[in-house]
């Protein structure tokens, strides 16, 4: 009996020791980590060097701006310099993008938070500061509930109304801060012959666009059957109702555009300025 018990204990000890040794071999030591190259880290888990982090984080500035565009966070706050108290006033940031006057500005975070401020409440204390997820908005004059982390979009509602929809003046900023939707458009088929196994691989890709549904903007004109979309150069394209049933007005290449999800870019009207009901 004692012999069997001793044998059982030896077996259990062997299993525990084997698991321990396997675990030790599965994870690199600190010395191994220190000697690993950047390329090896990238290959293992897609790591990035801290001096550039987060080098691909972006802030989009949309709405009533000369050109909707994005800023790479590491260009705004050079992380490599590791400067203390890095910051930029929200007004200065807007001025850098051609916005000198506005009615409202909205700050949105990647996790769905949004803060909207009227012009009079955007003081020199309204700041954009570095944050691990990119940028944080902070303002000592505002309640902390407005201090968004991970800012990804800044939407401007300007003082002018360069868009005209069925006789009503509006702007891209007003549309984005009202009832908006996101749709998928501009589909493509990517085919690639792998250099590793020689097989042909396929993947479908597309883009998402956020804007205002045209049908909602024309809702008060219930009986319309045809519209004409006009761009900034005065060129126009006519559409039957069925063609634009799912269309939205959204930003494309920095300007407002009429986007039709079922068709290619060639059928869209870019740099849109007016929608006219023809029948």
Does the pLDDT at position 98 exceed 50? yes
Q: What is the dihedral of CA 67, 131, 92, 253, to 10 degrees?
A: 0
pLDDT of residue 222: 87
- Judged by DSSP in three states, 108 sits in strand
Does the pLDDT at position 24 exceed 80? no
Taking the model in full, what pTM does it have?
0.76
Please write down the long-range contacts of 256-261, taking CB distance under 8 Å and 24 or more positions apart: 256/163, 256/172, 258/214, 258/229, 259/183, 259/185, 259/209, 259/211, 260/185, 261/183, 261/184, 261/185
Residue 25 tokens, joined: 């071999």
Check whether residue 108 and residue 134 sit in a common domain: yes
Q: Percent of the chain at pLDDT above 70? A: 77
Check whether residue 62 and residue 130 sit in a common domain: yes
pLDDT of residue 7: 52
Check whether residue 104 and residue 169 sit in a common domain: no
Does the pLDDT at position 196 exceed 70? yes
Of residues 229 and 81, more confidently modeled: 229
Of residues 186 and 16, more confidently modeled: 186
CATH number at 80 reads 3.90.420.10
Nearest C-alpha neighbor of 151 from the set 95, 85, 104, 93: 93
How high does pLDDT run on average in the chain? Answer: 83
Q: How many domains does the chain fold into? A: 3
Mean pLDDT of 186-193: 91
Check whether residue 143 and residue 75 sit in a common domain: yes
Check whether residue 195 and residue 245 sit in a common domain: yes
DSSP per-residue letters across 13-43: HHHHHHHHHHHHHHS--HHHHHH--HHHHHH
Check whether residue 174 and residue 127 sit in a common domain: no
Check whether residue 205 and residue 268 sit in a common domain: yes
Mean pLDDT of 159-181: 95
pLDDT of residue 64: 97
Check whether residue 181 and residue 269 sit in a common domain: yes
Does the pLDDT at position 126 exceed 80? yes
pLDDT of residue 85: 65
Q: How confident is the model at residue 81 (pLDDT cuts 50, 70, 90)?
A: low
Check whether residue 89 and residue 135 sit in a common domain: yes
Range of the domain at 23: 2-45
pLDDT of residue 87: 86
Check whether residue 37 and residue 64 sit in a common domain: no
Check whether residue 117 and residue 98 sit in a common domain: yes
Q: How confident is the model at residue 248 (pLDDT cuts 50, 70, 90)?
A: very high
- Judged by DSSP in three states, 164 sits in strand
What gap in Å lies between CA 136 and CA 125, rounded to an integer? 13
Whether the CB-CB separation of 123 and 90 falls below 8 Å is answered with no
Check whether residue 103 and residue 127 sit in a common domain: yes
Whether the CB-CB separation of 229 and 247 falls below 8 Å is answered with no
pLDDT of residue 22: 42
- Per residue in 29-72, pLDDT tens? 444 444 455 455 444 444 444 555 555 688 999 999 999 999 98
Q: Which residues does residue 252 pair with via DSSP β-bridges, in sequence order? A: 255
């Amino acid at each position: 009996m004692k012999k069997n018990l001793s044998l059982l204990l030896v077996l259990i000890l062997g299993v525990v020791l084997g698991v321990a040794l396997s675990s030790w071999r599965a994870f690199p030591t600190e010395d191994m980590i220190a000697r690993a190259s950047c390329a090896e880290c990238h290959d293992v888990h897609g790591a990035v060097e801290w001096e550039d982090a987060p080098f691909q984080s972006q802030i989009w500035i949309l709405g009533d701006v000369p050109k909707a565009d994005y800023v790479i966070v590491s260009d705004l706050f050079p992380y490599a310099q590791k400067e203390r108290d890095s910051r930029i006033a929200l007004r200065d940031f807007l001025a850098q993008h051609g916005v000198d006057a506005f009615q409202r500005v909205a700050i949105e975070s990647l996790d769905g938070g949004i803060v909207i401020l009227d012009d009079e409440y955007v003081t020199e204390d309204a700041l954009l500061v570095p944050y691990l997820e990119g940028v944080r908005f902070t303002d000592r004059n505002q309640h902390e509930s407005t201090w968004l982390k991970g800012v990804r979009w800044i939407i401007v509602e300007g003082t002018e109304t360069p868009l005209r929809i069925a006789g009503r003046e509006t702007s891209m900023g007003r549309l984005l801060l009202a009832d908006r939707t996101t749709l998928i458009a501009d589909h493509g088929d990517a085919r690639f012959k792998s250099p590793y196994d020689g097989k042909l691989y396929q993947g479908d890709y597309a883009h998402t666009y956020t804007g205002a549904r045209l049908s909602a903007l024309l809702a008060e004109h219930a009986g319309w059957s045809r519209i004409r979309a006009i761009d900034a150069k005065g060129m126009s394209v006519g559409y039957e109702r069925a063609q634009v049933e799912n269309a939205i007005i959204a930003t494309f290449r920095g300007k407002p555009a009429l986007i039709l999800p079922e068709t290619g870019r060639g059928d869209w009207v870019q740099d849109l300025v007016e929608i006219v009901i023809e029948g």
